[in-house]
Structure 1
Amino acid sequence: MPDSEQDAFDFLLRRRSRPAKTLTGPGPDRAALMPMLTAAARTPDHGKLEPWRFIVLEEAALRRMTSIIRSTGERLGKDAADIEKATHVYTTSPLCVAVIEVQKDSPKIPAIEQTYSAGAVCLALLNAALASGWGANWLSGWFSHDRAFMSEALGLAAHERIAGLIHIGTETSTPPERPRPDLEAITSWVSE
Structure 2
Amino acid sequence: MFNDLSSPAALLATRRSGKPRDMVAPGPDADQLRAILSAAMRVPDHGKLAPWRMVVIEDRAAFATLLQNAFKAARGTPDREDVAAIDQFARQAPTLVAVLSTTVEPSKIPAWEQRLSAGALCMNLVTAATAQGFVASWITGWAAFDPHVLRALGGKDGDRLAGFIFIGSAGQALEERPRPVYDDVVRHWP
1:74 to 59, 64, 72: 72
Quote the residue 1:159 is aligned against: 158
Instruction: Give % identity.
Output: 34
Matched, 1:142 2:142: yes
Quote the residue 2:38 is aligned against: 38
Q: CA separation in 1, counterparts of 2:93 and 2:186?
A: 37
Q: CA separation in 2, counterparts of 1:84 and 1:180?
A: 32
Moved more, 80-89 or 169-178: 80-89
Alignment check: 8 A CA contact 2:102 2:155 kept: no
Give 3-state SS (helix, strand or coil) of 2:104's partner. coil
Q: Which runs of 5+ in 1 are unaligned?
A: 1-5
Count of residues in correspondence between the two structures: 184
Q: CA separation in 1, counterparts of 2:181 and 2:83?
A: 34
- The residue type paired with residue 74 of structure 1 is K
Quote the residue 1:20 is aligned against: 20
Quote the residue 1:182 is aligned against: 181
Displaced runs of 4 or more, over 4 A = none
- The residue type paired with residue 42 of structure 2 is R
Moved more, 112-121 or 134-143: 134-143
Q: Which runs of 5+ in 2 are unaligned?
A: 1-5
Give 3-state SS (helix, strand or coil) of 1:169's partner. strand
Alignment check: 8 A CA contact 2:144 2:161 kept: yes
Matched, 1:55 2:55: yes
Give 3-state SS (helix, strand or coil) of 1:27's partner. coil
Alignment check: 8 A CA contact 1:40 1:122 kept: yes
- The residue type paired with residue 95 of structure 1 is T
- The residue type paired with residue 21 of structure 1 is R
Higher helix share: 1
Q: CA separation in 2, counterparts of 1:57 and 1:111?
A: 26
Quote the residue 2:126 is aligned against: 126
Q: Deviations over 1:77-117 (max 9, x none)?
A: 27643453343132232211111111102442000000000
Give 3-state SS (helix, strand or coil) of 1:53's partner. strand
Deviation at 1:49, TM superposition (A): 0.6
For the aligned residue pairs, the C-alpha RMSD in angstroms reads: 1.9
Q: CA separation in 2, counterparts of 1:189 and 1:155?
A: 43
Alignment check: 8 A CA contact 2:57 2:63 kept: no
Q: Report the CA distance shift for 1:92/1:185 in structure 2 as closer, same or farther (over 3 A).
A: closer
- Taking structure 1 as the reference length, the TM-score comes to 0.87
Give 3-state SS (helix, strand or coil) of 1:167's partner. strand
